[in-house]
Structure 1
Amino acid sequence: MKVYSVNKGVGFASSGVEYAQKYRKELFENFDYNDYYIFLNYLSKNITVYTDLLGYKNEQIIWIYNYLSHRTAQKSSYTVEMFIEALGAEHYEVLSQSESSIEIKVSNTQRYKLWLLEPNLIDRVDYIVNGSLVHVSHYDESLNNVEDYVQGKLVKRTFYDCQGEKSYEQFYDKNEIKVTYIDQQILFGKMAFYQYFFQQLQLEKKDAVIIDRPLDVVEGILPLLVHQVRLFSVVHAEHYNESLSKGNHILWNNNYEYIFEHADAFEAIIVATNRQNQILSQQLRKKTAIKTIPVGYINSISRKRSYKPFSLITASRLATEKHIDVLIKAVAIAKEVIPELTLDIYGEGGERKKLEEIIQKLEVEDSVKLCGHQNLDEIYSGYSAYVSASTSEGFGLSLLEALGAGLPMIGVDVEYGNREFIENGKNGILFERVSLNEMPEVLAKAIISFYEAHLDHSGRNISKQKAKAYLKNNVAKSWENLLEKGKK
Structure 2
Amino acid sequence: MTVYNFNLGIGWASSGVEYAQAYRAKVLRKIAQPAKFVFTDLILSENIEHLTQNIGFKDDEVIWLYQFFTDIKISPTTYTRAQLEKSIRFKQRKGVVEAVGEKAIRYSFPAEHKFVTAFLKEKGGQVVERAEHVSHDYLIRKDYFTYTKLFSEYYTPRDKRAYVYQRRFFNEDGSIAYEQLVDGKDELYRFSDALLYSKTDLVRFFMQRLQLTCKDVIILDRATEIGQTIFRNHGRAKLGVVIHADHFSENASTDTNIFWNNYYEYQFDNAQAVSFFITATAAQNKLMKKQFKQYYNYVPKIASIPVGSLSKLRHPQTKRKPYSLLTASRLATEKHVDWLIYAVVAAHKIIPELNFDIYGKGSEEVKLKKLIIQQNATSYIRLKGHQDLTNIYQEYEAYLSASTSEGFGLTLLEAVGSGLPLIGLDVRYGNQTFIRNNKNGFLIPFTEDEKLALTIAHLTNKIVELFTKSELKNFQQASYQIGKLFLTSEVEKKWQDLLGELKND
- Say which is worse superposed, 117-126 or 467-476, in terms of deviation: 117-126
Give the deviation of 1:130 after TM superposition.
Answer: 5.2
- Identify the residue that residue 199 of structure 1 maps to in structure 2: 208
Which AA in structure 1 matches 2:73? T
Q: How does 1:33-432 map to 2 (within 5 A)?
A: 33-44=33-44, 45-88=46-89, 89-107=92-110, 109-118=113-122, 119-129=125-135, 131-150=137-156, 151-174=161-184, 176=185, 178-225=187-234, 227-284=235-292, 285=296, 286-304=298-316, 306-432=319-445
Checking the alignment, whether the CA contact within 8 Å between 1:215 and 1:256 is kept in structure 2 is no
- Say which is worse superposed, 140-149 or 297-306, in terms of deviation: 297-306
Which AA in structure 1 matches 2:311? N
User: Is 1:457 equivalent to 2:473 in the alignment?
Assistant: yes
Give the deviation of 1:455 after TM superposition.
Answer: 5.2
User: CA, structure 1 residues 336+113, in 2 after alignment: closer, same or farther (shift >3 Å)?
Assistant: farther
Structure 1 residues 139-165: Cα deviation after superposition (integer angstroms, max 9, x where no partner): 001111112234233332211111111
Give secondary structure in 1 for the equivalent of 2:218: strand
For 1:132 and 1:447, the matched residues in 2 are separated by: 60
User: CA, structure 1 residues 111+398, in 2 after alignment: closer, same or farther (shift >3 Å)?
Assistant: same
For 2:398 and 2:182, the matched residues in 1 are separated by: 50
Give secondary structure in 2 for the equivalent of 1:6: strand
Which AA in structure 1 matches 2:462? A
For 1:295 and 1:473, the matched residues in 2 are separated by: 13
Structure 1 residues 304-359: Cα deviation after superposition (integer angstroms, max 9, x where no partner): 38311221111112222222232223322322222222221222233333332332
User: CA, structure 1 residues 115+326, in 2 after alignment: closer, same or farther (shift >3 Å)?
Assistant: farther
For 2:69 and 2:186, the matched residues in 1 are separated by: 15
For 1:464 and 1:379, the matched residues in 2 are separated by: 16
For 2:420 and 2:462, the matched residues in 1 are separated by: 16
Which AA in structure 2 matches 1:295? V
Give secondary structure in 1 for the equivalent of 2:118: strand
Give secondary structure in 2 for the equivalent of 1:390: coil
User: CA, structure 1 residues 197+68, in 2 after alignment: closer, same or farther (shift >3 Å)?
Assistant: same
User: CA, structure 1 residues 461+201, in 2 after alignment: closer, same or farther (shift >3 Å)?
Assistant: same
TM normalised by structure 2 equals 0.91
User: CA, structure 1 residues 106+457, in 2 after alignment: closer, same or farther (shift >3 Å)?
Assistant: farther
- Identify the residue that residue 479 of structure 1 maps to in structure 2: 495
- Say which is worse superposed, 68-77 or 461-470, in terms of deviation: 68-77
Which AA in structure 1 matches 2:307? V
For 1:352 and 1:133, the matched residues in 2 are separated by: 35
- Say which is worse superposed, 293-302 or 182-191, in terms of deviation: 182-191
- Say which is worse superposed, 277-286 or 447-456, in terms of deviation: 447-456
TM normalised by structure 1 equals 0.94
Which AA in structure 2 matches 1:240? F
Stretches of structure 1 that go unaligned for 5 or more consecutive residues are none
Checking the alignment, whether the CA contact within 8 Å between 1:296 and 1:397 is kept in structure 2 is yes
Checking the alignment, whether the CA contact within 8 Å between 2:289 and 2:300 is kept in structure 1 is no
Structure 1 residues 58-96: Cα deviation after superposition (integer angstroms, max 9, x where no partner): 111111111112322021111122212222553433443
Which AA in structure 2 matches 1:2? T
Which AA in structure 1 matches 2:163? K
Give the deviation of 1:204 after TM superposition.
Answer: 0.9
Give the deviation of 1:182 after TM superposition.
Answer: 1.8
Give the deviation of 1:13 after TM superposition.
Answer: 1.1
User: CA, structure 1 residues 127+441, in 2 after alignment: closer, same or farther (shift >3 Å)?
Assistant: farther
For 1:277 and 1:347, the matched residues in 2 are separated by: 29
Give the share of equivalent positions with the same residue, in percent. Answer: 35
For 2:480 and 2:108, the matched residues in 1 are separated by: 61
User: CA, structure 1 residues 129+341, in 2 after alignment: closer, same or farther (shift >3 Å)?
Assistant: farther
For 1:292 and 1:266, the matched residues in 2 are separated by: 16
Give the deviation of 1:177 after TM superposition.
Answer: 5.5
For 1:93 and 1:350, the matched residues in 2 are separated by: 40
Checking the alignment, whether the CA contact within 8 Å between 1:426 and 1:455 is kept in structure 2 is no
Which AA in structure 2 matches 1:403? V
Checking the alignment, whether the CA contact within 8 Å between 2:289 and 2:299 is kept in structure 1 is no
- Identify the residue that residue 22 of structure 2 maps to in structure 1: 22
Give the deviation of 1:272 after TM superposition.
Answer: 0.7
Checking the alignment, whether the CA contact within 8 Å between 2:217 and 2:237 is kept in structure 1 is yes
For 1:390 and 1:129, the matched residues in 2 are separated by: 51
Checking the alignment, whether the CA contact within 8 Å between 1:427 and 1:455 is kept in structure 2 is no
For 2:107 and 2:254, the matched residues in 1 are separated by: 62
For 2:132 and 2:471, the matched residues in 1 are separated by: 56
Structure 1 residues 395-444: Cα deviation after superposition (integer angstroms, max 9, x where no partner): 00111011100101111110000011001122111223356843444433
User: CA, structure 1 residues 221+458, in 2 after alignment: closer, same or farther (shift >3 Å)?
Assistant: same
Give the deviation of 1:131 after TM superposition.
Answer: 4.9
For 2:349 and 2:415, the matched residues in 1 are separated by: 26
Give the deviation of 1:368 after TM superposition.
Answer: 2.0
For 2:374 and 2:478, the matched residues in 1 are separated by: 37
User: Is 1:469 equivalent to 2:485 in the alignment?
Assistant: yes
For 1:131 and 1:313, the matched residues in 2 are separated by: 51
Give secondary structure in 2 for the equivalent of 1:53: helix
User: CA, structure 1 residues 173+414, in 2 after alignment: closer, same or farther (shift >3 Å)?
Assistant: farther
Give secondary structure in 2 for the equivalent of 1:43: coil
Give secondary structure in 2 for the equivalent of 1:105: strand
Which AA in structure 2 matches 1:445? N
User: CA, structure 1 residues 455+112, in 2 after alignment: closer, same or farther (shift >3 Å)?
Assistant: farther
Structure 1 residues 88-134: Cα deviation after superposition (integer angstroms, max 9, x where no partner): 55343344345432244333843333222222211112223455533
Checking the alignment, whether the CA contact within 8 Å between 2:332 and 2:362 is kept in structure 1 is yes
User: CA, structure 1 residues 153+450, in 2 after alignment: closer, same or farther (shift >3 Å)?
Assistant: farther
Which AA in structure 1 matches 2:182? Y
Q: What is the Cα-based RMSD across aligned positions, in Å?
A: 2.0
For 1:124 and 1:296, the matched residues in 2 are separated by: 35
Off by >6 Å, runs of 4+ in structure 1: none
